[in-house]
Amino acid sequence: MAKKQVTFADIAEYTGFSKTTISRYFNHPDSLTLENQEKIAKALDELGYRKNKLARVLANGKSEFVGIIVPNLYLHYYSEMLTQLLRSYSDYHYKFLVFVSDGGPEKEMQYLDELMAYKIEGLIVLSHTLSSEKLASYNIPVIAIEREAEHICSVTTDNYMGSMQATSLLIRNQCDVLIHINVHVPENIPAYDRIRAFEETCREYHVPYELNLNVSGDSYQELFEQMRVIFQDIDSKYSGQKKGIFLSNDTYANIFLNLIFQKYNCLPDEYQIIGFDNSPIAAESIIPITTIGQQIDVIAQTTMELLVEQMNEMKKRKPAPLQKPIHKKITPVLIRRQTTGD
Amino acid sequence: MAKKQVTFADIAEYTGFSKTTISRYFNHPDSLTLENQEKIAKALDELGYRKNKLARVLANGKSEFVGIIVPNLYLHYYSEMLTQLLRSYSDYHYKFLVFVSDGGPEKEMQYLDELMAYKIEGLIVLSHTLSSEKLASYNIPVIAIEREAEHICSVTTDNYMGSMQATSLLIRNQCDVLIHINVHVPENIPAYDRIRAFEETCREYHVPYELNLNVSGDSYQELFEQMRVIFQDIDSKYSGQKKGIFLSNDTYANIFLNLIFQKYNCLPDEYQIIGFDNSPIAAESIIPITTIGQQIDVIAQTTMELLVEQMNEMKKRKPAPLQKPIHKKITPVLIRRQTTGD
DNA sequence: TTGTAAGCGTTATCAC
DNA sequence: GTGATAACGCTTACAA
Q: Are residues A82 and A31 in the same domain?
A: no
With 90 as the cut, is the pLDDT of residue A3 above it?
no
- State which residue of chain B sits closest to A63, comparing Cα positions: B54
**Å from the A118 CA to the C14 C1':** 31
pLDDT one-digit tens code per residue, B176-223: 999 999 999 999 999 999 999 999 999 999 999 999 999 998 889 999
Domain membership flag for residue B128: yes
Q: If pLDDT is split at 50, 70 and 90, which confidence band does A206 have?
A: very high
Per-chain mean pLDDT for chain B: 95
Question: What percent of the residues of chain B are helix, what percent strand, and what percent coil, each to the nearest 5?
Answer: 45, 20, 35
Measured from Cα to the C1' atom, the residue closest to D11 is B59
In this structure, are A194 and A269 located in the same domain? yes
Integer Cα distance of B156 and B148 in angstroms: 10
* B21/C2 CA-to-C1' distance in Å: 7
Compute the distance between CA of residue A18 and CA of residue A42 in angstroms, rounded to an integer.
Answer: 16
Instruction: Look at residue A226 and give its three-state secondary structure.
Output: helix
Quote the minimal CA–CA distance from A108 to chain B in Å. Answer: 11
Same domain, A162 and A240: yes
A98 to chain B: which residues are within 8 Å by CB?
86, 96, 98
- CATH code of the domain containing A14: 1.10.260.40
B83 neighbourhood in chain A, CB within 8 Å = 72-74, 100
Q: Is B53–A118 a contact, with Cβ atoms under 8 angstroms apart? A: yes
pLDDT of residue A1: 37
Closest Cβ opposite residue A96 in set B2, B58, B98 = B98
Nearest residue (CA) to C1' of D10: B56
Cα angle B276, B68, B251 (rounded to 5 degrees) comes to 20
- 10 Å CB burial of residue B189 (0-12, 13-18, 19+) is middle
Q: Within this chain, do residues B125 and B166 fall inside the same structural domain, yes or no?
A: no
**Domain end (from B43, B58, B73):** B58
Residues of chain B positioned with their CB less than 8 A from the CB of A267: none
Q: Is A194 inside a domain boundary?
A: yes
How far is it, in rounded angstroms, from Cα B39 to Cα A183?
A: 50
User: Could you read off the pLDDT of B291-313 as tens digits, one per residue?
Assistant: 999 999 999 999 999 999 999 99
> Are A54 and B118 within 8 A, CB to CB?
yes
Residue nearest to nucleotide C7 (CA to C1'): B59
User: Å from B303 (CA) to C9 (C1')?
Assistant: 32
Q: What is the pLDDT of residue B1?
A: 37
pLDDT of residue B321: 81
- Sheet of B290-293, strands arranged across: B209-215, B177-183, B243-247, B271-276, B290-293, B333-335
What pLDDT was estimated at residue A339? 98
> What positions of strand C are covered by protein, i.e. any atom < 7 Å from a CB?
1-13
Task: Tell me the nt nearest to A30, Cα to C1'.
Answer: D1
Task: Flag whether pLDDT at B72 surpasses 50.
Answer: yes
Instruction: Report pLDDT for B303.
Output: 98
| CB nearest to A89's CB, from B99, B118, B286 | B99
Tens digits of residue pLDDT in A274-311: 999 999 999 999 999 999 999 999 999 999 999 999 99
More confident residue, A4 or A154: A154
Per-residue confidence at A10, pLDDT binned at 50, 70, 90? very high
Say if residue A103's pLDDT is above 90.
no
Rounded to a whole number, what is the distance in Å from the CA of A4 to chain B's nearest CA? 11
Q: Which residue is nearest to nucleotide D13 (CA to C1')?
A: B20
The pLDDT value recorded for residue B125 is 98
At CA B322, angle to CA B317 and CA B326, rounded to 5? 145
Please tell me whether residues B75 and B172 are part of one structural domain: no
pLDDT of residue A4: 75
Q: Do A83 and A147 fall into the same domain?
A: yes
Asked if the structure places residue B116 within a domain, the reply is yes
Smallest CA–CA distance from A262 into chain B, residue: B286
Looking at the partner chain, which of B103, B116, B283 has a beta carbon nearest the beta carbon of A220?
B283
Give the distance, in angstroms, between residue A13 CA and nucleotide D4 C1'.
15
- Within A88-157, residue ranges assigned H as helices are 89-92, 104-117, 132-136
Q: In the prediction, which pLDDT does A256 show?
A: 98
The answer to whether the CB atoms of A285 and B286 lie below 8 A apart is yes
B223/chain A closest Cα distance in angstroms: 11
Provide the pLDDT confidence category of residue B3 given band limits of 50, 70 and 90: low
Domain shared by B146 and B195, yes or no:
no
Q: How far is the CA of B203 from the C1' of D14 (A)?
A: 72
Rounded mean pLDDT, B141-150 = 97
Scanning every residue of chain B, which has its alpha carbon at the shortest distance from the alpha carbon of A61? B1
Whether residue B97 and residue A102 make contact (CB cut-off 8 A), yes or no, is no
H or E stretch at A153: strand A153-157
Which residues, 6 or more positions from A170, have their beta carbon under 8 angstroms from its beta carbon?
Answer: A178, A244, A246, A272, A274, A340
Query: Are both A147 and A70 inside the same structural domain?
Result: yes
Q: For residues A281 and A168, state if they share a domain.
A: yes
- From the list A54, A82, A118, the residue facing B58 with the nearest CB is A54
Which chain A positions have a beta carbon within 8 Å of B120's beta carbon?
none
Structural domain includes residue B307? yes
pLDDT digits (tens, 9 = 90+) for A225-268: 999 999 999 999 999 999 999 999 999 999 999 999 999 999 99
C-alpha–C-alpha distance, residues A243 and A272, integer Å:
6
CB contact under 8 A, A53 and B118: yes
CA distances from B166 to A324, B213, B278, B332 (A): 59, 17, 13, 11
**How many angstroms separate the CA of residue B318 from the nearest CA in chain A?**
8
Sheet holding A95-100, edge to edge: A327-330, A153-157, A142-145, A122-125, A65-70, A95-100, B95-100, B65-70, B122-125, B142-145, B153-157, B327-330
Provide the b/e sequence for A85-98 (b: ≥16 CB within 10 Å): bbbbbeeeebbbbb
Establish if A339 belongs to a structural domain: no
Query: In this structure, what are the phi and psi dihedrals at residue A122, rounded to the nearest 5 degrees?
Result: -160, 170
How many domains does the structure of chain B reveal? Answer: 3
Residue A244 parent element (H or E):
strand A243-247
pLDDT value of residue A2: 42
User: Which residues, at least 6 apart from B196, have a Cβ–Cβ distance to it below 8 Å?
Assistant: B160, B163
CB proximity list for A219: less than 8 A, separation 6 or greater: none
Structural domain includes residue A1: no
Torsion, Cα of B216, B217, B220, B225 (10° steps) = -70
- Which pLDDT score, from 0 to 100, does residue B342 have? 67
Chain A positions in Cβ-Cβ contact with residue B113 (cut-off 8 Å) = 51
Output the pLDDT for position B4.
75
pLDDT for B241 beyond 60: yes
B257 contact partners, CB below 8 Å, separation of at least 6:
B267, B273, B285, B286, B287, B289, B339
Q: Which residues pair with B68 in a beta bridge?
A: B98, B124
Please give the nucleotide, over all strands, whose C1' is closest to the CA of residue A57.
C10
- Cβ(A12)–Cβ(A22) under 8 Å? yes
Give the residue nearest to nucleotide D9 (CA to C1'): B55
Closest CB to B73 among A50, A83, A265: A83
Supply the range of the domain harboring residue A287. 157-293
Burial classification of residue B184, based on how many CB atoms lie within 10 Å of its CB (0-12 exposed, 13-18 middle, 19 or more buried):
exposed
Query: Mean pLDDT across the stretch B231-238?
Result: 97
A128 and A227 assigned to the same domain: no
B335 lies in a domain? Answer: no
Q: What is the CATH number of the domain that holds A283?
A: 3.40.50.2300
**Hey, which residues does A66 pair with through a beta bridge?**
A96, A122
Beta-carbon separation of B117 and A258 below 8 A: no
Alpha-carbon torsion angle B108, B114, B119, B120, nearest 10: -40
Q: Given an 8 Å threshold on Cβ–Cβ distance, is B261 in contact with A286?
A: yes
Same domain, B324 and B251: no
Same domain? A258 vs A299:
no
Chain D positions with an atom below 7 A of a protein C-beta are 1-13
Residue A11 belongs to a domain: yes
Nearest CB partner across the interface for A254, out of B72, B116, B284: B284
Q: Which residue is nearest to nucleotide D2 (CA to C1')?
A: A21
Q: How confident is the model at residue A126 (pLDDT cuts 50, 70, 90)?
A: very high
If you average pLDDT over residues B19-26, what whole number do you get? 93
Shortest Cα–Cα distance, B250 to chain A (Å): 11
pLDDT grade for B2, boundaries at 50, 70 and 90: very low
